[in-house]
Amino acid sequence: MNSPVAKPVRMSYREACRQAIRDALTNDPRTFLMGEDVGLYGGCYAVTKGLLDEFGPSRIRDTPLAESAFVGAGIGAAVAGMRPIVEIMTCNFSLLALDQILNNATSIAHMSGGQFAVPLVIRMATGAGRQLAAQHSHSLEGWYAHIPGLKVLAPGTVEDARHMLGSALADPNPVLIFEHIVLYNAEDELDPAVASVDIGSAKIRRPGRDVSVLTYGNSLPKALAAAETLAKEGIEAEVVDLRVLRPLDNATIFESVTRTRRCIIVDEGWKSGSISAEIAARLSEDLFFELDGPIRRICSREVPIPYSRHMEEAALPQTSAIIETARILVGSR
């Protein structure tokens, strides 16, 4: 830990990720970071800039372009006693390591009858909004949330970016952290009294009585902006940051929706077979009689994310859609 400071510190999400890695490397000699361009280049999103000089090449380990092998190496190192952090440039490239993640990382503990654990953290960038087109803009966290044996985190605030990594490394299981590319530049005040976050629960970011907006990642600021506008119209939206997509925090979600009796899920993944579909299914299984209206979902349109600005915007969940959906849902009360 850094020496505690009394005053709130302002920092970017990117800097928060970097500080988290710095802490992890300082606190545990078993931890090292490996991935493509994490060292000399400083990270494809500049998260790890400067860390090579600080920690040297065996702890900030540049790898060749071999996602399957270096993710598998992270798994092997974790199984054999290290606490590695593997960085994959973007979740799109994680598909080249899917075999290792699914067939090794999440299978070894169960398949060995509990003889081995895989305390590995994989960080990757996710999401759209920077006109990077289809092969660099997808949101695959909901997909990964399908897999038993994984924990799937999606920090949507600077605080979570700062502290989730530490909690993930303390967990005996493989944990994936999806850092949203648009959020890297986001800034916020960090409460120095907070030294860790719990990675088992969702968090209410704004309380409200009329409708629950369940979301995560870069849709969180959009939901909060929508709630501001709605408040001026007398609609109090409660914004729930899911934060942990696997295992889902049913308790917080159900409690919120039971209170507001209305629910909108905002998810940057595609709608079909998404995490929003999973949540909607759980709500309809368990909370059907508590609802005053249909569950609404705002997701990415079902297209490979396009390059051109207006088309990209049209493909993604936007604040305006959240506002309109809430008006209709609450207006029907």
Q: Name the β-bridge partners of 177.
A: 123, 153
The residue (of 103 and 196) whose beta carbon lies closer to other proteins is 103
**Is-catalytic flag, 312?**
no
From 48-56, 101-109, 190-198, 300-308, span contacting other proteins (CB under 8 A): 101-109
113 lies in the site for other proteins, by CB under 8 A? yes
We find the least distance from the C-beta atom of residue 73 to other proteins, in angstroms, to be 4
Q: Report if residue 63 touches other proteins, rule: CB under 8 A.
A: yes
**Spatial contact of 89 and 60, defined as CB atoms under 8 Å apart:** no
Nearest of 202, 211, 326 to residue 257 by alpha carbon: 211
Among 136, 138, 163, 180, the one annotated catalytic: 136
| DSSP single-letter state for residue 127 | -
Q: Which residues contact 81 (CB under 8 A, 6 or more apart)?
A: 30
Q: Applying CB under 8 A, which of residues 60, 71, 280, 315 lies at the interface with other proteins?
A: 71
Find the binder of other proteins among 54, 99, 198, 324 (CB under 8 A): 99
Token pair of 147, please?
């897999």
* Interaction of residue 123 with other proteins, rule CB under 8 A: no
Taking CB under 8 A as the rule, does residue 200 contact other proteins? no
Query: Does the footprint of other proteins cover residue 111 (CB under 8 A)?
Result: yes
Q: Which long-range contacts (CB under 8 A, 24 or more apart) does 323-329 make?
A: 323/226, 323/229, 323/230, 325/264, 325/296, 325/298, 326/210, 326/211, 326/213, 326/226, 326/230, 326/235, 326/237, 326/264, 327/230, 327/233, 327/235, 329/211, 329/262, 329/264, 329/293, 329/294, 329/296
b/e string for 134-166 if b means 16 or more Cβ within 10 A?
eebbbbbbbbbbebebbbbbbbbbbbbbbbbbb
What residues form DSSP beta bridges with 244? 153
Identity of the residue, 66 or 281, whose beta carbon is nearer to other proteins in the bound complex: 66
Work out which of 10, 56, 66, 292 binds other proteins, going by CB under 8 A. 66
Task: Based on the shown chain and the rule CB under 8 A, indicate whether residue 108 belongs to the binding site for other proteins.
Answer: yes
146 included as an active-site residue? no
Q: Are 71 and 86 in contact (CB under 8 A)?
A: yes
Unique residue bearing structure tokens 């009689």: 289
Q: How many residues bind other proteins (CB under 8 A)?
A: 40
Q: Which is nearer to other proteins, 106 or 139 (CB)?
A: 106
Residues 273-302 that bind other proteins (CB under 8 A): none
In this chain, which of 9, 46, 95, 117 binds other proteins, going by CB under 8 A?
117
Closest CA to 230 of 203, 212, 214, 217: 212
Site string for other proteins, 130-169 (x = CB under 8 A): ------------------xx-x------------------
Is 73 among the residues that bind other proteins (CB under 8 A)? yes
Cβ atoms 20, 170 nearer than 8 A? no
Contact mark string toward other proteins, 7..46, x via CB under 8 A: -----------------------x----------------
Q: Choosing from 15, 67, 159, 268, which is the catalytic residue? A: 67
- Using the minimum distance from each CB to other proteins, give the nearer residue, 79 or 132: 79
* Region of residue 252 (phi > 0: left; psi between -120 and 50: alpha; otherwise: beta): alpha
Residues that bind other proteins (CB under 8 A): 30, 63-64, 66, 68-82, 84, 99-100, 103-104, 108-117, 119, 148-149, 151, 172-173
Which residues are tagged catalytic? Answer: 67, 136
